Amino acid sequence: MGAQSNAAPIIIKKKRVSGGDGHHGGAWKVAYADFVTAMMAFFMLMWLLNATTEKQRKGLADYFSPTIPVNPVSGGGDGAFGGDNMFSEKTMVMDGSGASNRNPTEAKQARGSTGVDAQGGGKGAYEDFSSLEARLLGRAGESLVSDKLLKHIVTRVTDEGLVVELYATEDQPLFESGTDKPTHMMRALVLLVARSSDLVTNSISVEGHERSSPVVLANNPVWDLSTARAQRTRQLLQDKGVQPLRLDRVTGHADRELSVENPMDARNDRIEIIFLRTP
């Protein structure tokens, strides 16, 4: 019988490590979400490019472009434009760069808010009469517009341009009865229009309208009277500072274009001053 050993038995443990089944985090989800977002943005970009015109895209680009003007030629002022006007026909000596009222840049055309199509229909789609309307209707904080004058002014934008309608009432006529002599209120209205006309450079048309006579006459005076009153309004505009070259047309329409249904209503006695669209 052999001798017995007092050494403890050696026990070997084998640890099995399983791989591939554990949780590896959510980083892939973030990357996938960024990818989907980028694809959605790309889709929206392609759709917008296909749904807009060239001028609309130019307007969007101008909106996000820097708005700090750079004057390449030294001038006499210390402002952003160096004391000059952005339009070349109004610049000072040594300057000849910039846009033109008659030949605006593409950026200016893209800012039009008149709803005219890309071609413009020859009506000058870039014109914006909002500032002029605000001044005439007393929305620009102008103290020279009183409530009394506001009751006799109506504005509307048409294919022809901005129509400023000055109309009479039974107790407040524009001209003395049967003549082309303007009342004090008419002079105040023309002064308001003349002062506000500096906001735009458009040509101006003056049209006279009369109410119908209650008696049928062989020689109806409304033709001569409407023309005479339109001519007097033109002269008043010139006297108040409007350049004569801006006055493009003066016409009398007699009682052929009524404003209200009743042909003898005083509301039909009116003068229309139209700021014509640039052709």
Domain end, chosen from 83, 99, 122, is at: 122
The continuous run of DSSP H or E covering 252 comes out as: strand 247-252
What CATH code is carried by the domain that includes residue 237? 3.30.1330.60
More confident residue, 33 or 96: 33
Instruction: State whether 35 and 87 are in the same domain.
Output: yes
Domain end, chosen from 122, 152, 171, is at: 122
pLDDT band at 55 (very low <50, low <70, confident <90, very high): confident
> Distance between terminal CA atoms of the chain?
129
Q: Is 16 part of a structural domain of the chain?
A: no
Instruction: State whether 51 and 155 are in the same domain.
Output: no
pLDDT band at 276 (very low <50, low <70, confident <90, very high): very high
Q: Is 93 part of a structural domain of the chain?
A: yes
Best CA proximity match to 263, nearest among 202, 225, 216: 216
| Residues near 155 by beta carbon (within 8 Å), at least 6 away in sequence | 133, 136, 137, 162, 163, 164, 165
Q: Is 108 part of a structural domain of the chain?
A: yes
Instruction: State whether 175 and 139 are in the same domain.
Output: yes
Instruction: State whether 89 and 168 are in the same domain.
Output: no
Instruction: State whether 160 and 263 are in the same domain.
Output: yes
pLDDT band at 2 (very low <50, low <70, confident <90, very high): low
Overall average pLDDT of the 229-234 stretch? 96
Ordered DSSP codes for 163-178: EEEEE--SSS-SB-TT
Instruction: State whether 155 and 249 are in the same domain.
Output: yes
pLDDT of residue 56: 80
Q: Is 17 part of a structural domain of the chain?
A: no
Q: Is 23 part of a structural domain of the chain?
A: no
pLDDT band at 86 (very low <50, low <70, confident <90, very high): low
Report the range of poorest mean pLDDT among 48-62, 96-110, 155-169, 224-238.
Answer: 96-110
pLDDT of residue 148: 83
- Residue ranges in 137-271 assigned as alpha helix (H): 147-150, 184-196, 222-239
Instruction: State whether 107 and 243 are in the same domain.
Output: no
Best CA proximity match to 122, nearest among 87, 161, 86, 156: 161
Among 49-53, 97-101, 115-119, the range with the most confident prediction by mean pLDDT is 49-53
Distance between CA atoms of 202 and 214, rounded to whole angstroms? 38
pLDDT of residue 230: 96
Q: Is 212 part of a structural domain of the chain?
A: yes
Q: Is 100 part of a structural domain of the chain?
A: yes
Summary mean pLDDT of the chain: 77
What residue type is assigned to position 57 of the chain? R
Instruction: State whether 220 and 204 are in the same domain.
Output: yes
DSSP-derived letter for residue 213 is P
Instruction: State whether 51 and 80 are in the same domain.
Output: yes
Distance between CA atoms of 126 and 101, rounded to whole angstroms? 11
Q: Give the model confidence (pLDDT) of 187-211 as tens digits.
A: 999 999 999 999 999 999 999 999 9
Domain end, chosen from 86, 101, 122, is at: 122
Q: Which two tokens stand for residue 162?
A: 């901005």
Given a cut of 90, whether residue 90 has pLDDT beyond it is no
Instruction: State whether 58 and 168 are in the same domain.
Output: no
Q: Provide the number of structural domains found in the chain.
A: 2
Instruction: State whether 100 and 140 are in the same domain.
Output: no
pLDDT band at 52 (very low <50, low <70, confident <90, very high): confident
pLDDT of residue 275: 96
Instruction: State whether 114 and 55 are in the same domain.
Output: yes
pLDDT of residue 120: 39
Q: Is 35 part of a structural domain of the chain?
A: yes
Half-sphere exposure of 91 (CA within 13 A, CB side): 19
Q: Give the model confidence (pLDDT) of 257-270 as tens digits.
A: 988 889 999 999 99
pLDDT of residue 110: 42
**pTM attached to this predicted model:** 0.55
Percent of the chain at pLDDT > 90 equals 42
Question: Burial, 205: exposed, middle or buried (Cβ in 10 Å; 0-12, 13-18, 19+)?
Answer: buried
Phi and psi at 51, nearest 5°, equal -95, -5
Given a cut of 70, whether residue 146 has pLDDT beyond it is yes
How crowded is residue 264: how many other Cβ atoms within 10 Å of its Cβ?
12
Q: State the Cα angle at 214 between 209 and 220, rounded to 5°.
A: 55
Q: Give the model confidence (pLDDT) of 73-84 as tens digits.
A: 444 554 555 555
Overall average pLDDT of the 75-95 stretch? 50
Structural domain harbouring 266: 130-276
pLDDT band at 121 (very low <50, low <70, confident <90, very high): very low
